[in-house]
Structure 1
Amino acid sequence: MSKNMIECKKVIYKYEKNEENNAKIAVNEVDLDIKKGEFLVVLGHNGSGKSTLAKHMNALLLPSGGKVYVDGMDTCSSEHIWQIRNKAGMVFQNPDNQIVATIVEEDVAFGPENLGVEPSEIRKRVDDALHKVKMYEYRKHAPHLLSGGQKQRIAIAGILAMRPNCIIFDEPTAMLDPSGRREVIDTIKDINKNYGITIVLITHYMEEAVEADRIVVMDKGKLIMEGTPRKIFSNVSVMKEIGLDVPQMTELAYELNKSGINIDSNILTIDEMVNVLCQLK
């Protein structure tokens, strides 16, 4: 068995030719291995290819060149398609587009029902998934009355009920307010840490990326950097060059250094900044 959940080997993806007869290369020879149980964040500005790459990870898109393997299965082989989508679930930006039923627990049951799971097992999975995202007490509610963050947690429960090994999140907090974003990120961290589910999070919020085991940065269809959050965010000038921010505290440390105050530039959080400032003579 592969120790990698997802393997991208020289993946190329071209969009269809446009009026000028040019095919746009959205993903350009990307090599990426994602380990089982890892929490990986993919960063990049709009048009960098990050969402296109994410859609290859559960065979929503198939590569124009190269190969993608999910738990050792080739996404291009049609007999594996259901198994792949079972193993790698996907949560999108807009929670309203992912909710299909008028009662929360029916919505969460939709996936396992489609997989032909026994009714008694579905009941167990629905309750289990709602507990995991801390939404069990809302099981009889109408999803459209919930907040954006709660709806997104219901969408996550719907994927969890299908018992995936991996969940790919494509900018799941983009349409949420700060408290909804926090709820969703806490849920993602929790299912990664406590249930060992591999997480791939596509985001443009740097504060969310701080939580990852590893970050990869995409620009113009290519992977240009990878490493721990500390390593990635210490490259403030490179990040700015490609149009990305860094966490506010990293930015502050960078600016303080530029103005002659000698402090560690690898700071990621407010707590770390407070500690460093308190130690300044």
Structure 2
Amino acid sequence: MKNNMVECRNVTYKYEDTETKTFNLALDNINVNVSKGEFLVILGRNGSGKSTFAKHINALMIPTSGNIIVDGLDTSDDNNVWTIRNKAGMVFQNPDNQLVATIVEEDVAFGPENLGITPDEIRRRVDNSLKKVDMYAYRKHAPHLLSGGQKQRVAIAGILAMEPECIIFDESTAMLDPLGRNEVINTIKSLNANSNMTIILITHYMEEAIAADRIIVMDKGKIIKQGSPREVFREVEIMKNIGLDVPQMTELAYELRKSGIDIRNDILTIDEMVNELCRLK
């Protein structure tokens, strides 16, 4: 469909355990679509298949069976790979592994230069990308002197300079301190809201998922639940049973309800909790 950025059709992925010579199922018949402009969060404990799923969208991995279609292009077709990677950029955990130059603006220019884009157009893209992630003032700085959050924002600018339609963040805040995480999440939200960028965010931090349009919960290679943040997080028992947390305020509401207090079960934020407690007076 034209309004889908990603279509996953019966996607299964098996990998061989070299020690036991057996095949393990990392993705088990996944069917899901991601709309253009959507902010999708994927949650799951380690080994749930979420990062494997992300790498399939960027054509870093190819399904054992089934198909992944990115903006109308099948990832299984070798002729489509580079076009797909331009359409769907990927930002990984460690920003140091993604920075290749000694000056910030040169790092951001690296991708467009490899595409053979004209110098004037590269200049425009670099400036625009750095402004979008609020790093333009650091364009002449050395990347290795930046904070973790700043480095990750430069890495995002490098992807933006390729002018993708979708960015996949594979636990891109995992190695950052709370300030750095906040910087990157605010950048992600801004790209989605102001540039209509399709965002696929894989994270362990439940608070980061609150702003999503939709959450997909994975376990043992399957999608076990999906819906809005309210719909997903109010199922506290289900989340706990698969080893996941819920946002702190949702957890507090859950404990209050267990204590017999009549409070909503879909509270996500501190403001909502305050309003609900005031209502009970």
- TM-score where L is the length of structure 2: 0.99
Identify the residue that residue 142 of structure 1 maps to in structure 2.
142
Tell me the secondary structure at the aligned position of residue 279 of structure 1: helix
Tell me the secondary structure at the aligned position of residue 141 of structure 1: coil
Identify the residue that residue 186 of structure 2 maps to in structure 1.
186
1:128-174, CA deviations, whole angstroms, 9 ceiling, x for partnerless residues? 00000000000000000000000000000000000000000000000
User: Deviation at 1:21?
Assistant: 1.9
Identify the residue that residue 197 of structure 1 maps to in structure 2.
197
Q: How does 1:155-166 map to 2 (within 5 A)?
A: 155-166=155-166
User: Deviation at 1:197?
Assistant: 0.7
Identify the residue that residue 153 of structure 1 maps to in structure 2.
153
Identify the residue that residue 111 of structure 1 maps to in structure 2.
111
Tell me the secondary structure at the aligned position of residue 261 of structure 1: coil
Whole-angstrom distance in 2 between the partners of 1:103 and 1:19: 43
1:44-100, CA deviations, whole angstroms, 9 ceiling, x for partnerless residues? 000000000000001000000100000010001111111100000000000000000
Whole-angstrom distance in 2 between the partners of 1:183 and 1:92: 16
User: Deviation at 1:196?
Assistant: 0.7
Tell me the secondary structure at the aligned position of residue 212 of structure 2: coil
Q: Is structure 2 residue 119 aligned with structure 1 residue 122?
A: no
RMSD: 0.7
Whole-angstrom distance in 1 between the partners of 2:122 and 2:18: 46
Tell me the secondary structure at the aligned position of residue 172 of structure 2: coil
Q: Is structure 2 residue 173 aligned with structure 1 residue 173?
A: yes
Whole-angstrom distance in 1 between the partners of 2:129 and 2:15: 36
Partner amino acid, structure 2, of 1:100: V
User: Deviation at 1:17?
Assistant: 3.7
User: Deviation at 1:15?
Assistant: 1.1
Identify the residue that residue 12 of structure 1 maps to in structure 2.
12
User: Deviation at 1:19?
Assistant: 2.2
Identify the residue that residue 259 of structure 2 maps to in structure 1.
259
1:182-211, CA deviations, whole angstroms, 9 ceiling, x for partnerless residues? 000000000011001100000010000001
User: Deviation at 1:16?
Assistant: 1.9
User: Deviation at 1:36?
Assistant: 0.2
Identify the residue that residue 213 of structure 1 maps to in structure 2.
213
Unaligned runs of 5+ in 2: none
* % identical aligned pairs: 69
Tell me the secondary structure at the aligned position of residue 19 of structure 1: coil
Partner amino acid, structure 1, of 2:61: L
Q: How does 1:65-76 map to 2 (within 5 A)?
A: 65-76=65-76
Tell me the secondary structure at the aligned position of residue 157 of structure 1: helix
Tell me the secondary structure at the aligned position of residue 169 of structure 2: strand
Partner amino acid, structure 1, of 2:34: I
Partner amino acid, structure 2, of 1:50: K
Number of corresponding residues: 281
Identify the residue that residue 270 of structure 2 maps to in structure 1.
270
Identify the residue that residue 97 of structure 1 maps to in structure 2.
97
User: Deviation at 1:20?
Assistant: 1.9
Whole-angstrom distance in 1 between the partners of 2:73 and 2:16: 26
Whole-angstrom distance in 2 between the partners of 1:30 and 1:18: 25
Whole-angstrom distance in 1 between the partners of 2:240 and 2:221: 18
Identify the residue that residue 245 of structure 2 maps to in structure 1.
245
Unaligned runs of 5+ in 1: none
4+ aligned runs moved over 6 Å, structure 1: none
Partner amino acid, structure 1, of 2:155: A
Partner amino acid, structure 1, of 2:214: R
Identify the residue that residue 133 of structure 2 maps to in structure 1.
133
Identify the residue that residue 222 of structure 2 maps to in structure 1.
222
